[in-house]
Amino acid sequence: MSWELTADLDDFVADAGEFLRSRPVQHTVFLTLIDTLRRRGLHAYGSGDPVFGVWRAGSGAVDGVLLQTPPYPMNFSALPAAAVSAAVPALAGRSLSGANLPAEAVDEFVAGWREQTGAGAAVKMRTRLYLLDTLLPFVASAGHSRAATANDRELLQRWHVEFHDEIYETHSGDFGEVVDERLDYGGIVLWEVDGVPVSMALRSRLSAGMIRVQMVYTPREHRGRGYAGSATTVVTRDALDQGAEAVVLVTDLANPTSNGLYQRLGYKPIEDRVVVEFS
């Protein structure tokens, strides 16, 4: 049993692809990251070189993966117990800004990393993965939905910046390429009232039968009126119309409003994770 690390995306996909596709809901982030790296290049998320890894069980079968796109945290799939402790020496000498792990594995990895490196660690966010069960009726707020277009590009870039600022996520401030890509495949829904956009909801491309609702954002001055629920309902229906067998989303557990909303729409909790920052 051991970790095998590589910088080669094709080698990683050849080794881990079947494992990732076997549980597309739990592996939603890995699948969309891989899709983006294939289309936009290895430095789509930053100038640092990505790191990929697979954990092989005694039989030689892949039973866990890791993936980092610097400067973002290292992402781990659900792992056998032995793989968590073994990841610490396997990553020795690498600079990790943080780690994103299943809740049941985070304490062991963080303790090992602190012992090995002397780094400080702080919880940045606790998240929950939801899977759509049945889309439930939602009383639409005033207004209507429409697909975003190139004419909305400036607004969408600004809202992307505001969204990432609110969740304290490091970014370059330039989301032009990301916005253009999402506009290209029709992945952005706007909710507008009297011709003014007041909320947006985004979805990923279809991958392994799965689509993820990636961002739902309403500026502060428009909150509390049901716009986010309306936009999320529309983008969820759109995902189902695209042929998704599974529609998922990830929330910040510190936000009871969004967690309550998504459950009222028919999303069910699947997995909790913890994002830690190292210093």
Residue 15 has pLDDT above 80, yes or no: yes
Residue 91 has pLDDT above 80, yes or no: yes
pLDDT tier, 171 (very low <50, low <70, confident <90, very high otherwise): confident
Other beta carbons within 10 angstroms of residue 151's beta carbon come to 8
Residue range 139-156: mean pLDDT, rounded = 94
Cα–Cα distance list, 279 to 44, 96, 117 (Å): 24, 9, 10
Residue type, 67: L
Q: Residues with Cβ < 8 Å from 57, sequence gap 6 or more?
A: 1, 63, 80
Average pLDDT value over all residues in the chain: 95
Q: What is the pLDDT of residue 155?
A: 98
Q: What is the pLDDT of residue 167?
A: 84
Percent of the chain with pLDDT over 90: 93
- The CA distance from 103 to 107, in Å, is 8
Cis preceding-peptide flag for 71 (omega within 30 of 0): yes
Cα dihedral 213, 150, 172, 47 in deg (nearest 10): 90
pTM: 0.94
143 φ/ψ sector (left φ>0, alpha ψ -120 to 50, else beta): left
Residue range 175-190: mean pLDDT, rounded = 95
Residue 170 has pLDDT above 80, yes or no: no
Q: What is the pLDDT of residue 1?
A: 84
Structure tokens at 91: 């990553």
Q: Residues with Cβ < 8 Å from 158, sequence gap 6 or more?
A: none
Q: What is the pLDDT of residue 58?
A: 85
Q: What is the pLDDT of residue 256?
A: 94
Residue range 154-173: mean pLDDT, rounded = 89
| CB of 33 closer than 8 Å to CB of 69 | yes
- The CA distance from 273 to 253, in Å, is 10
